[in-house]
Amino acid sequence: MANRIARAVVAALLSTPALAQTSPETLFTNVRVFDGSGAPLTAPTAVLVRGNTIAAIGASATSKTATVIDGHGRTLMPGLIDNHVHITMGASSQADLVDPRVTPEMLQARGQAEAEAMLLRGFTAVRDMGGPIFAIKATIDSGKSVGPRIWPSGAMVSQTSGHGDGRLPNERSRRWGGEVSRGELLGAYYIADGRAEVLTAVREDLRAGASQIKVMAGGGAASAYDPLDVAQYTFDELRAAVEAADDWNTYVTVHAYTPKAVRRAVDAGVKCIEHGQLLDEATVELLAEKGIWLSLQVLDPAPPTAPESTRAKKLQVVDGTDAAYRWAKQYHVKLAWGTDFLFNVKQNVNQGKDITKLAKWFTPPEILKMVTHDNAELLAMSGPRTPYAGKLGVVETGALADLILVDGDPTHDINLVADPAKTFVVIMKDGKIYKNITTGGVNSAR
């Protein structure tokens, strides 16, 4: 059944035309470059893109045949990277996910539309942290539809009663007279208990094409049945996930907030923590000592319509954010950034605006480095499971040509990334132009 649904979704998405302007060479002239390192902008210069890579910068960036874009002194920077998205589940509500009238094809079509919107907000690469994503990724990579580069996790791996156990109250466990849950059939999550089931779940994700594995190691704010303070999965279960991922030369990242959950995961060999807003100072320092990544978000309170228990849990997370960032900065933890928008379609347009919240702790150049260069380094942790060959997050010779031309200087005004429809005048991914509203448009060189 799952394979039949996937084939139907792929067939439907393949009918969507891609909207990209391609040219063998593109020459950006009169641009000031933010190279991703956090350094100040360069003086006005030129950048030559040949195929899907940056061929030259500066005096050597010349061509008699390139398509020319005059930057008029604007800022050319790497494409933005969001390291914690849920493309399909962020494009629908939680009620949609469990409503039998909402078909898998409908969910995937909404996800595809959201993927295109993400790219047009300047996000040229994302790490999908759980949900049905493989069909959408396949059509984007084939050029049949539009969206960012996607590092997919596939189905989230959760214990029974864990943060990824999304069953309705009437859905009994398959071990106790029930059926496989709708969420599992959709590819949103796997409910796996014990070493053997965890190994199987991780290997299923890897077989499907996961570039990294997402495991639920602690309680969550949005889930109904697991308190925020609980630790999830035993050491042996977490270790099984790490061993299976390591055998495929990639890594496990875990959803976890508390010191107990995070320390157990670190002991098991996990290389990245998602969230961590409830950590104590000693555990943050441990992450720095071990070289563990912390993928942190500046989350908003739950909406007034959410259940009281959810609002109370979410408030704890929000309140813990300031200390987590201050300690992470103090101890030089490897920091990544993401949005983690989920089940709130109206929120998605704020993806770029969410970056500006980091100004409470970081300067604009530090923020831009985090959402380009640093996030790209975390993507590269997938090693040979990385879906795309080449270097991202930088503007340098030989790097992949994922670029944004910004009307203004975001190293001084980070709010420029909050209004991409207005301030991102060119968006390029893999050397292809998906948006160009420069004065006079694109001109062919003579």
How are strands ordered across the β-sheet holding 156-158?
A: 189-191, 156-158, 213-216, 252-256, 272-275, 293-296, 334-337
Tell me the CB-side half-sphere exposure of residue 331, using CA atoms within 13 A: 22
Judged against a pLDDT cut of 70, whether residue 14 lies above it is answered with no
Taking only the tens place, the pLDDT of each residue in 173-227 is: 888 888 888 889 999 999 999 999 999 999 999 999 999 999 999 999 878 788 9
Return the pLDDT at 417.
98
Cβ-contact 97, 131 below 8 angstroms: no
- Alpha-carbon distance of 58 to 43, in angstroms, equals 10
3-state secondary structure (DSSP) of residue 1 = coil
Could you tell me where the DSSP H helices lie in 277-413? 281-290, 308-330, 351-355, 364-369, 375-379
Q: 267 is written with which tokens?
A: 């002991």
Question: How does 344-379 read in b/e, with b if 16+ C-beta sit within 10 Å?
Answer: eeebbebbbbbbbbbeebbebbbbbbbbbbbbbebb
**Distances from the Cα of 223 to the Cαs of 64, 94, 167, in angstroms?**
58, 10, 10
Taking only the tens place, the pLDDT of each residue in 279-336 is: 999 999 999 999 999 999 999 998 888 888 888 999 999 999 999 999 999 999 999 9
- Alpha-carbon distance of 356 to 399, in angstroms, equals 26
- Alpha-carbon distance of 295 to 160, in angstroms, equals 25
Return the pLDDT at 329.
98
Q: What is the mean pLDDT of residues 44-50?
A: 98
Q: What is the mean pLDDT of residues 65-94?
A: 95
Return the pLDDT at 224.
78
Taking only the tens place, the pLDDT of each residue in 108-162 is: 999 999 999 999 999 999 999 999 999 999 999 999 999 999 999 999 999 999 9
Taking only the tens place, the pLDDT of each residue in 378-411 is: 999 999 999 999 999 999 999 999 999 999 999 9
